[in-house]
């Protein structure tokens, strides 16, 4: 071979590792690693059973768009339920208060459509998970209550203080209270992610435990259901409903 040919070949070989890396990246599946906070936040309100969790995502190989995150919860008794994301809070920055020096977080909350995860960043989010079956079944009771309210308004008989005592609203209260299904014992959590392409999901198995005292405390929220629907007056305008929240330790399996 001529000297020129050797130079051309050397130049081509210099590009080979770069081309191999591009090909490997193109055909490799994105690897998504889930990193959670030490504790989760469990609740029960008029939104039904709630599970809030601060999560970070580390991605390898290529960027990926996720369109849904699901939690499959399984109680030690064998009972299973599904939670899906209903909202995301993203931390933007943090400043210190000019007077007392305490940190002031700046966050953005949004309804969930999709999140893009990049290999160059670790994306951290505070995700609100709720039970989709609860919301679907609740719609029927809410629709009956709305129809009753519209009927009363059309007949000029609507009184907000009396409306919350109607049979339609009582049926709604009963449904919400009967939807309480947290139990004492061990729960296992399995994360699942919907994406535009197939991914490899790592560190997606966790567990936590609820004690009898936990259940007794969070059940107190059932007594606040009717009150949360009461009309606002000057007397209770500044009153806040203090829902009980649990923060069990989350363990990676």
133-160: pLDDT as tens digits: 999 999 999 999 999 999 999 999 989 8
Half-sphere exposure of 84 (CA within 13 A, CB side): 13
Distance of alpha carbon 136 from alpha carbon 82, whole angstroms: 13
Nearest to 87 by CA among 41, 119, 122, 120: 41
Q: Which residues face 120 on adjacent strands? A: none
DSSP 126: E
User: Would you state the pLDDT for residue 195?
Assistant: 83
Please spell the DSSP secondary structure of 27-86, one letter per residue: HSPPEEEEEE-SB-EEEEETTEEEEEEEEEEEEESS-EEEEEEEEEEEETTS-EEEEEEE
Mean pLDDT within 20-46: 77
Of 4-13, 108-117, 133-142, 165-174, the range with the lowest mean pLDDT is 4-13
User: Would you state the pLDDT for residue 200?
Assistant: 84
Is there a contact between 181 and 49 (Cβ–Cβ < 8 Å)? yes
Considering 5-9, 63-67, 99-103, 224-228, the range whose residues carry the highest mean pLDDT is: 224-228
Mean pLDDT within 72-92: 84
50-81: pLDDT as tens digits: 999 998 888 888 888 888 889 999 999 999 99
pTM (two decimals): 0.77
165-186: pLDDT as tens digits: 999 999 999 999 999 999 999 9
User: Would you state the pLDDT for residue 105?
Assistant: 40
Q: Tell how strand 115-117 and strand 185-195 pair up.
A: unpaired
User: Would you state the pLDDT for residue 99?
Assistant: 46
């Amino acid at each position: 071979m001529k000297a020129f040919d050797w130079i051309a070949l050397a130049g081509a070989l210099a590009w080979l590792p770069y081309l191999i890396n591009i090909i490997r990246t193109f055909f490799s599946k994105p690897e998504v690693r889930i990193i959670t906070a030490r504790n989760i936040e469990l609740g029960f309100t008029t939104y039904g059973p709630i599970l809030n969790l601060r999560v970070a995502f580390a991605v390898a190989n290529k960027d990926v768009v996720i369109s849904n995150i699901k939690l499959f919860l399984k109680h030690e008794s064998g009972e299973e339920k599904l939670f899906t994301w209903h909202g995301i809070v993203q931390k933007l920055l943090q400043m210190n208060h000019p007077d007392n020096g305490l940190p002031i977080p700046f966050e953005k909350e949004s309804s969930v459509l999709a999140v893009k995860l990049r290999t160059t960043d670790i994306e951290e989010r505070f995700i609100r998970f709720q039970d989709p079956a609860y919301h679907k079944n609740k719609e029927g009771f809410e629709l009956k209550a709305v129809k009753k309210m519209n009927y009363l308004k059309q007949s000029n008989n609507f009184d907000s203080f009396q409306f919350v005592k109607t049979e339609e609203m009582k049926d709604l209260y009963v449904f919400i209270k009967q939807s309480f299904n947290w139990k004492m014992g061990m729960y296992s959590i399995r994360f699942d992610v919907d994406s535009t392409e197939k991914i490899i999901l790592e560190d997606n198995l966790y567990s936590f435990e609820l004690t009898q005292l936990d259940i007794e405390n969070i059940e107190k929220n059932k007594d606040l259901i009717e009150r949360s629907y009461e009309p606002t007056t000057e007397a209770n305008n500044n009153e806040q409903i203090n829902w009980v929240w649990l923060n069990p330790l989350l363990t990676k399996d």
